[in-house]
Structure 1
Amino acid sequence: MEIQGKIKLIDETKTYGNNGFRKREMVITTEEQYPQHIMIEFIQDKCDLLNAYQVGQPVKVSINLRGREWVNPQGETKYFNSIQGWRIENLAVENGGAPEMPPMPPEDAFEPANNFNEDDHDDLPF
């Protein structure tokens, strides 16, 4: 499954237990009529995927829905769900082809080259 939106929050990586279980959470805000703030967790080596991203970026996150059952000490059964991310892509690059760049200045903003000679050798391969 996939979810798209803008990054609202990227939390720091947290380590739990003696075995060093790592978890990092992020929140994506969907862009629809009723925007949703979806918390996605990245675990173990997937935590590092978030290092290249920042708040405000439009992204597409590949996710798995996870569910588990737990029986409390009183014998009551409880169910928990989580959303785990395993891939993240920058939508600004994917949809636009290249990252946004500043606009080019107009042609007349540069002075002409006065000492240009077509016969001069250059090291370009074409």
Structure 2
Amino acid sequence: MELIGTIKQINPVQNFASGFQKREFVLLTEEQYPQTLLIEVTADRIDILDHFTDGNVVRVGINIKGKEWTSPSGDVKYFTSLSAWKVTHKDLANSNQDQ
């Protein structure tokens, strides 16, 4: 799936004790009813945001991921995340300068 929008905020890298890393950014989509979405970049892809700043208009390739979690008390909760695998400047999306 692909989204087009303006980067509102890029957060710093988060490091976890397990060695897992993620970085989140906020995207305001370009559509009739713009959405403000929190998107994450994980593992070896966290550096793809280094080429961007707040206000950049980008194309973002995402995967929608879901997870079921059962608490120690037996309650089941569901989580959904948007995970980016590619981010490019909107005007450069078809060039060889993709990031």
Fold-level match, TM-score > 0.5? yes
Largest Rg, 1 or 2: 1
Q: Report the counterpart of residue 105 of structure 1 in structure 2.
A: none
In the TM superposition, what is the alpha-carbon distance from 1:92 to its structure 2 partner? 2.7
Say whether 1:16 aligns with 2:16. Answer: yes
Q: Report the counterpart of residue 37 of structure 2 in structure 1.
A: 38
In the TM superposition, what is the alpha-carbon distance from 1:21 to its structure 2 partner? 1.1
Residue identity over aligned pairs, in percent, reads 42
Q: Determine the C-alpha separation between the residues in 2 that align with 1:49 and 1:79.
A: 28
Q: Determine the C-alpha separation between the residues in 1 that align with 2:3 and 2:63.
A: 10
Which structure is richer in relative contact order (CA contacts within 8 A, separation 6 or more)? Answer: 2
CA contact (8 A) 2:40 2:83 kept: yes
One-letter identity of the residue aligned with 1:88: V
Which runs of no fewer than 5 residues in structure 2 stay unpaired?
none
One-letter identity of the residue aligned with 1:75: G
The TM-score, its normalising length taken from structure 2, stands at: 0.88
Paired residue total = 95
In the TM superposition, what is the alpha-carbon distance from 1:49 to its structure 2 partner? 0.3
One-letter identity of the residue aligned with 1:55: D
Which runs of no fewer than 5 residues in structure 1 stay unpaired?
98-126
Q: Determine the C-alpha separation between the residues in 2 that align with 1:24 and 1:89.
A: 16
Q: How much is the aligned-residue C-alpha RMSD, in angstroms?
A: 1.5
What are the superposed Cα offsets for residues 39-86 of structure 1, whole Å, 9 maximum, x if unpaired?
110001110000001111110111111101111122111111111001
Q: Determine the C-alpha separation between the residues in 2 that align with 1:43 and 1:21.
A: 8
